[in-house]
Amino acid sequence: MRLISIKEHPNGLKILVASVLSGQKVEVALKPGVLDGAVLEASEAGVTYRLQSNSAVLHLLRETEEKQESSRGGKDSGAWLEWDAYHLQPVLAPYLVSVTGGREDKDLRAALQSLLATLATTHPLNAKEVNAASVVLFCSLVPLLSETVTTNLLQEQPSLLTYLTTLRETPPFDECVAKWWPGGSSSLKSWVGQAAPPPSPSHSTLALLKGCPSDAPSRPAPTNPADQAKPVRATVSPESVKEAEKWWHHPSEACPAPKAQNILPVKGESNILVTSALPYVNNVPHLGNIIGCVLSSDCFVRFCRLRGDNVLFVSGTDEYGTATETKAIAEGLTPKQICDKYHVLHSEIYQWFNISFDNFGRTTTQKQTDITQDIFFQLDKNGHISQESVEQLFCGKCERFLADRFVEGSCPHPGCGYEDARGDQCDGCGKLVNAMDLIRPRCKLCSSTPEVRSSNHLFLDLPSIEPKLKTWLTTSSPQWTANAQVICDSWVKDGLKKRCITRDLKWGTPVPKDNFREKVFYVWFDAPIGYISMTACYTDQWRQWWHNPDQVQYYQFMAKDNVPFHSVVFPSTLLGTDEKWTQVTHLIATEYLNYEDSKFSKSRGVGVFGDQAMSSGILSDVWRFYLLYLRPEGQDTSFSWVDLQTKNNSELLNNLGNFIHRSLSFVFKFFGGAIPAACPAGQDFEVMAAINKEVKQYTTTMATNRQREGLRAVLSITRIGNQYIQEQEPYRLVKPDRPPEDRERGATVTAVAANIVALVAVLLEPYMPETAGRIRDLLGNPTQLGRLPQAFTQFLPVGHVIKEPQPLITQLDCELIEKMSKKFGGETKSSKKEINPAEVTRLQALVEAQGSKVRQLKGGGMASKAEVAAEVATLINLKSQLANAQGVEASPAGDKDKKKNKKSGGGAKENIKPPPATQPSSNTPVNEAEVSRLQALVTQQGEKVRALKTSGASKEAVAPEVAVLLDLKQQLAAAQGINLTALTGKDKKKKK
């Protein structure tokens, strides 16, 4: 056993004395910060436990105690031990602290005085009889003998004083005291205050549970304790408090005047052009696509608009290319029809997600053709376009040159060898691929091996533009996200090569050059030009945005797979024209979002796609919130339904929603909906300073596109607000029976809280525009909430009237979440049913044996109809078991067997009925609700049985519970369509 104690702590002495008394050796280890001063470590069955000092004394002296038990009347040791811990320590410990501090606390002294009097009158104080109680009491009180003040206190109880001094001279107390306190008596300074004093018994932990008093609005769930337990308010400096005070009193300085939206850059102002990577038209975007570009850019754009920048936000569908042609063939439409159909679908999804495009265009416009051809002419004029005859794959069967995406084969990059590499890029290693280099190429449409033919093509001469590109990169790329810089660097380092920019297709921007008129531009050459043409479709003044690099900051948003074309090819195209184009200044690339730890996959039905999110019944704002909350900034992140539920219920509902609802309810309930006059004081300004710190954090992180951190700043503000209300309790202060200064204070807190809500309404806009709008609406749409303030201030003037608050956020219940995760989990999960190969082979052998038996019987013609029928029934039963074990639905197999039997025309056919036990598995459809209900019951019962077993209950007690469990399991199996009875039946047979 090991005694671990704070140096010289009397609780350590307790254990030491007890160990000497009992003759059990303990090893002593001194450590600072031991809980309760000292503990005794003891091991049993390989596990180490810790006993608190009093219990340790009891443990060491257990034998003596049990002997004395019978012979003693009055209070036993246990009672005195409890008296020591429960009554004495909470007074004695703080009293000794006050004495050590040099100022004896009179109240504590009086309390201790009366306790000691009780002790002196009720305890026998017989120094001859040593037991656990005397050890504990002696060690607790003996430190009182070390100081004059405290000895004086003891002298008032002479019998107690004598008792203590006598014990101190009695072995083994004397030697232990000498060993524990080498100076002879306790020097309070060395241990008092080292261990936290026990809490006063007057507090009740239960009070913490009633965090939300009954007169506060009870609709939103109470804030959960741990959220409050964390110190959300960072320390604030006095200067920042003073500053907060200044902002509060000068609202007009904090809030810039609202400004009309301007869609053209203005010299000398902040002009921001934002584009989001063009979603390819023939795919419905999934959540990963949405957070990767459009949603991230929308969040930034909304922030810029709040900041008062001139922002133009452009995107659209990328429509040309081979993929559209393929899709058109598949759906039997023309490429144009396909694009029209899907463009609408895309627009609807983004509209639902509240993506605030200034223009959501498309690449199949006349403007696109004009601008692309213009750029091409310039490049050609400047000598950056070359012609080459290209050996290209031609599929004789399909009678066409195969575009990159129409060829598949093994990846040519050393070390990869991925078998399904596409002609333009390998999904295995991510590297770009030249279709001609593919090993064992095949036509994607007909899978025949294509032949090589030559065809003339135009090339963009990247090496000739490289010097310009490198110079430009040094100025631009430092502001890009890290992943974009790395990808771009590795491309440039590999050395740039000429890139073919034409394709043998119909569906594309026509090439305006003789001998190439039947060809079109490669989609990656003209797609980024779509940004320009879409701006041109929006305004005739588009050159003000696109030929204005000195005035315009250009932000491009995309997922990391789009970086090469945006960082190298598109800039080179523009640089090669020698015109003054606005080039990307901030390339913002995200990592990937996964779906429940696997990839989104349309074909496998894994993941949530835009249209499905729309019909999910979950508000678009919640989707926005959660996607931005886990925006894959530094690394890939993973979407999870349970996490979505948790974040919604904890962050949105309990934190943000709860704060807003409570704050506005106070205004509405106690002040008739009008903002009361506030006279904030020091502590209020401290809160404001803490909020200002978060506002600053929000502003800087949003400006640098760290949107996750920005969102956390908003949530911190509401958390600070919640804590502020919790501490100040305005709902108590405003009660009519409180003194006027209290009620005034209540008004102040209410007004400040309402203004925090106003601030949140502004800051939340980029993340949850609908919710922010609803909050502004509740607040009566004050104009000053249209712009990002510099700091927290009085957004709402005194007397400003608000509407009756409505709950903003709804709880997501487990049922919905379970339904959703099942619905979008794809087939992968359901087919995961475990297959036991040994069981399968065993059953196969049985089926075969039984099959030949039946054949023999029938062939022999000796057996009676009934006999044959019985054997056939067994065969069918075995077959369905086999199907089950193989993870195949049993019913088709059963049906087939029936048919076969009929065909075989055996005499027994009319009599054959499938054994009744197989009925449920083949006929009843699986009732999912029932299954999950039963599953829950089984789990519950299982835990019950485990608990019973671990608690050492008798067999007879456990048996009935186990029976219930087995019964439940059987019901579950039946509901799932698994044939349990048949299995058990078979087992019996085997035993025979």
Q: Are 393 and 405 in contact (CB under 8 A)?
A: no
Residue from 642, 703, 929, 966 binding other proteins (CB under 8 A): 642
Q: How distant, in Å, are the alpha carbons of 379, 442, 924 from that of 575?
A: 9, 37, 68
Cβ-based nearer residue to other proteins, 58 or 407: 58
Is residue 323 helix, strand or coil? helix
Question: Is 389 a binder of other proteins (CB under 8 A)?
Answer: no
Question: Is 648 a binder of other proteins (CB under 8 A)?
Answer: no
Question: Is 25 a binder of other proteins (CB under 8 A)?
Answer: no
Q: For other proteins, which stretch binds (CB under 8 A), given 536-544, 566-574, 642-650, 760-768?
A: 642-650
Chain centroid to CA 343: 32
Cβ-based nearer residue to other proteins, 209 or 264: 209
CA 785 to CA 817: how far, in whole Å?
35
Residue from 172, 222, 412, 510 binding other proteins (CB under 8 A): 222
Q: For other proteins, which stretch binds (CB under 8 A), given 202-210, 660-668, 678-686, 840-848?
A: 202-210
Residue from 33, 71, 171, 226 binding other proteins (CB under 8 A): 226
First-residue to last-residue Cα distance in the chain: 58
Residue ranges with strand state E in 290-353: 310-317
What is the residue type of 383?
G
Cβ-based nearer residue to other proteins, 70 or 200: 200
Q: Using the structure block, give the residue that is written with the tokens 């090589």.
A: 452
CA 381 to CA 379: how far, in whole Å?
5
Q: Long-range contacts for 432-440 (Cβ within 8 Å, ≥24 apart)?
A: 432/564, 433/404, 435/392, 435/393, 435/402, 435/404, 435/407, 436/391, 436/392, 436/393, 437/412, 438/407, 438/408, 438/409, 438/410, 438/411, 438/412, 439/409, 439/410, 439/411, 439/412, 440/409, 440/410
Compute the least distance from the CB of residue 944 to other proteins, in Å. Answer: 5
Question: Is 947 a binder of other proteins (CB under 8 A)?
Answer: yes
Q: Is 945 exposed, middle or buried (0-12, 13-18, 19+ CB in 10 A)?
A: middle
Question: Is 70 a binder of other proteins (CB under 8 A)?
Answer: no
Cβ-based nearer residue to other proteins, 603 or 954: 954
Compute the least distance from the CB of residue 847 to other proteins, in Å. Answer: 38
Structure tokens that stand for 762 in this block: 């502004």
For 142, which DSSP code?
G
Cβ-based nearer residue to other proteins, 14 or 457: 14
Size of the site for other proteins (CB under 8 A): 66
Cβ-based nearer residue to other proteins, 148 or 200: 200
Residue from 25, 33, 45, 988 binding other proteins (CB under 8 A): 45
Pick from 588, 326, 562: nearest CA to 432 = 562
Structure tokens that stand for 707 in this block: 């949107």
Compute the least distance from the CB of residue 760 to other proteins, in Å. Answer: 16
Q: Are 434 and 388 in contact (CB under 8 A)?
A: no
Cβ-based nearer residue to other proteins, 131 or 874: 131
Compute the least distance from the CB of residue 207 to other proteins, in Å. Answer: 9
Contacts of 56 (CB under 8 A, 6+ apart): 3, 14, 15, 18, 38, 39, 40
Residue from 26, 58, 254, 912 binding other proteins (CB under 8 A): 58
Q: Is 88 exposed, middle or buried (0-12, 13-18, 19+ CB in 10 A)?
A: buried
Is residue 640 helix, strand or coil? coil
Compute the least distance from the CB of residue 196 to other proteins, in Å. Answer: 9
Compute the least distance from the CB of residue 48 to other proteins, in Å. Answer: 7
Question: Is 204 a binder of other proteins (CB under 8 A)?
Answer: yes
Structure tokens that stand for 761 in this block: 């309404």
Q: For other proteins, which stretch binds (CB under 8 A), given 58-66, 157-165, 744-752, 775-783?
A: 58-66
Residue from 208, 266, 482, 926 binding other proteins (CB under 8 A): 208
- At residue 60, φ and ψ (nearest 5 deg) are -65, -35
Segment 271-330, which members bind other proteins (CB under 8 A)? none
Residue from 230, 955, 990, 991 binding other proteins (CB under 8 A): 230
Question: Is 707 a binder of other proteins (CB under 8 A)?
Answer: no
Q: Are 355 and 298 in contact (CB under 8 A)?
A: yes
Structure tokens that stand for 657 in this block: 């929603």
Length of the chain (residues): 992
Cβ-based nearer residue to other proteins, 324 or 640: 640
Give the CA-trace dihedral at 854, 859, 860, 866, to 10 degrees: 50
Compute the least distance from the CB of residue 449 to other proteins, in Å. Answer: 47
CA 935 to CA 950: how far, in whole Å?
22
Compute the least distance from the CB of residue 937 to other proteins, in Å. Answer: 11
Structure tokens that stand for 908 in this block: 């027994």
Question: Is 2 a binder of other proteins (CB under 8 A)?
Answer: no
- At residue 889, φ and ψ (nearest 5 deg) are -60, 135
Parallel, antiparallel, or unpaired for β 310-317 and 271-276? parallel
Cβ-based nearer residue to other proteins, 221 or 801: 221
Compute the least distance from the CB of residue 67 to other proteins, in Å. Answer: 14
Question: Is 44 a binder of other proteins (CB under 8 A)?
Answer: yes
Cβ-based nearer residue to other proteins, 86 or 348: 86
Q: For other proteins, which stretch binds (CB under 8 A), given 192-200, 599-607, 678-686, 979-987?
A: 192-200
Question: Is 213 a binder of other proteins (CB under 8 A)?
Answer: no
Compute the least distance from the CB of residue 932 to other proteins, in Å. Answer: 13
Structure tokens that stand for 786 in this block: 């249209």
Q: For other proteins, which stretch binds (CB under 8 A), given 109-117, 347-355, 635-643, 753-761?
A: 635-643
Cβ-based nearer residue to other proteins, 708 or 774: 708
Structure tokens that stand for 727 in this block: 């501490």
Residue from 9, 14, 59, 444 binding other proteins (CB under 8 A): 59
The shares of helix, strand and coil residues in the chain, as percent rounded to the nearest 5, are 55, 10, 35
Compute the least distance from the CB of residue 904 to other proteins, in Å. Answer: 51
What is the residue type of 262?
N
Compute the least distance from the CB of residue 84 to other proteins, in Å. Answer: 10
Residue from 814, 835, 929, 959 binding other proteins (CB under 8 A): 814
Parallel, antiparallel, or unpaired for β 47-52 and 38-44? antiparallel
Q: For other proteins, which stretch binds (CB under 8 A), given 54-62, 561-569, 728-736, 825-833?
A: 54-62
Structure tokens that stand for 335 in this block: 């490429």
Question: Is 229 a binder of other proteins (CB under 8 A)?
Answer: yes
Question: Is 946 a binder of other proteins (CB under 8 A)?
Answer: yes
Give the CA-trace dihedral at 461, 467, 468, 471, to 10 degrees: 150
Question: Is 50 a binder of other proteins (CB under 8 A)?
Answer: yes
Residue from 183, 184, 201, 467 binding other proteins (CB under 8 A): 201
Cβ-based nearer residue to other proteins, 115 or 416: 115
Which x/- pattern over 76-95 shows residues binding other proteins (rule: CB under 8 A)?
--xx-xxx-xxx-xx-----
Cβ-based nearer residue to other proteins, 73 or 740: 73
Compute the least distance from the CB of residue 742 to other proteins, in Å. Answer: 23
- Write out the residues near other proteins by the rule CB under 8 A: 35, 42, 44-45, 47-52, 54-56, 58-59, 62, 78-79, 81-83, 85-87, 89-90, 198-206, 208-209, 222, 224-226, 228-230, 640, 642-643, 646, 649-650, 654, 712, 715-716, 814, 940, 943-948, 950-952, 961
